[in-house]
Amino acid sequence: MKKELIKIQIKNIYDNVIYEYECEDNTVRTTLENAVENGANLDGANLYRANLYRANLDGANLDGANLDGANLDGANLYRANLDGANLDGANLYRANLDRANLNGAKNLEPLWVCDLYSIKMQDPETKLRYWKFVDGDKSPIHDKKLTYKVGKTVTEKDCDNNESEACGAGLNVATLQWCLKNTISNNSADFIEVEFKVSDIVAVPYYSDGKFRVKELKVLRKLSREEVLTELKQIAKWSWYD
């Protein structure tokens, strides 16, 4: 018995259809991959909470696309144009962002990154968001006990750029996974989300397990461990959307 053909439309943020595809067992991922394969212009595509798990989006033009809450776990975004894209809450775990254009991307907040070293290859003006864990407003590890208050910019002139040194002088930031793993026995730790430019990166230690150093950062918000875990649970729910 022949299966029913399923037509899926991809609309832009203005609710205009920019691509459609019909096939058996069709999904948003299948339609999007077909669009990329055929060189479709996906400028401003509305992919809110789309399940794009392991999607092959090599070279995709997603300029200004809405990827809010999208599941991009394992997606191939090599050379993709994500200029101005909304990546708020997007799951980028294991995503390949090598040579992707992330300039102007909103809320680029990778929780887990396989190859941290590749972030240095992005445009120097690209803004990135990572994490630190703190004790109150103080770093529990830094000898200088720097203060990290929400809305404030912190600068460190004495930075170690030796990438053979896993933990050198500078403002150490990390993936959220690293922060959670290193505070398992410290339930009182708070987590701050920080933002900085690629040009502020001082050193990404070789074989880093998630931590690296910057010379300047801005503190965006502070969350408790409970609040962080609540956000992660919400992202996990979005991962199942099609």
Per-residue pLDDT reduced to its tens digit, 64-118: 999 988 999 889 999 999 988 988 778 887 788 878 887 767 665 455 555 677 7
CA gap 52, 61 in Å, rounded = 15
Residues near 32 by beta carbon (within 8 Å), at least 6 away in sequence:
10, 42, 45, 47, 50, 52, 55, 57, 60
Q: Two tokens at 206? A: 């070789």
pLDDT digits (tens, 9 = 90+) for 10-69: 999 889 999 999 999 999 999 999 999 999 999 999 999 999 999 999 999 999 999 988
| Residue 126 maps to a domain | no
Residue 102: DSSP 8-state:
-
Given this model, what pLDDT does residue 230 score?
78
| Residue 173 maps to a domain | yes
| Residue 32 maps to a domain | no
Residue 241: pLDDT band by 50, 70, 90 thresholds?
very low
| Residue 138 maps to a domain | yes
Q: Two tokens at 138? A: 């103080």
Given this model, what pLDDT does residue 233 score?
63
CA gap 140, 105 in Å, rounded = 31
| Residue 166 maps to a domain | yes
**Per-residue pLDDT averaged across 200-215, rounded?**
90
Number of domains forming the structure of the chain: 1
* pLDDT at 150 exceeding the cut of 90: yes
Which of 60-74, 176-190, 217-231 has the least mean pLDDT?
A: 176-190
| Residue 83 maps to a domain | no
16: left (phi over 0), alpha (psi -120 to 50) or beta: beta
At 174 the three-state DSSP class reads: strand
User: Residues 22, 10: contact at Cβ < 8 Å?
Assistant: no
Given this model, what pLDDT does residue 142 score?
56
Residue 166: DSSP 8-state:
S
Residue 107: DSSP 8-state:
T
Given this model, what pLDDT does residue 238 score?
45
Nearest to 62 by CA among 73, 50, 74: 50
User: Could you tell me the maximum CA-CA distance found in the chain, to the nearest angstrom?
Assistant: 71
| Residue 80 maps to a domain | no
Q: Two tokens at 161? A: 């750029």
| Residue 54 maps to a domain | no
Q: Domain range spanning residue 241? A: 131-242
Q: Report percent pLDDT > 70 for the chain.
A: 89
Residue 80, CA atoms < 13 Å, CB-side half-sphere: 28
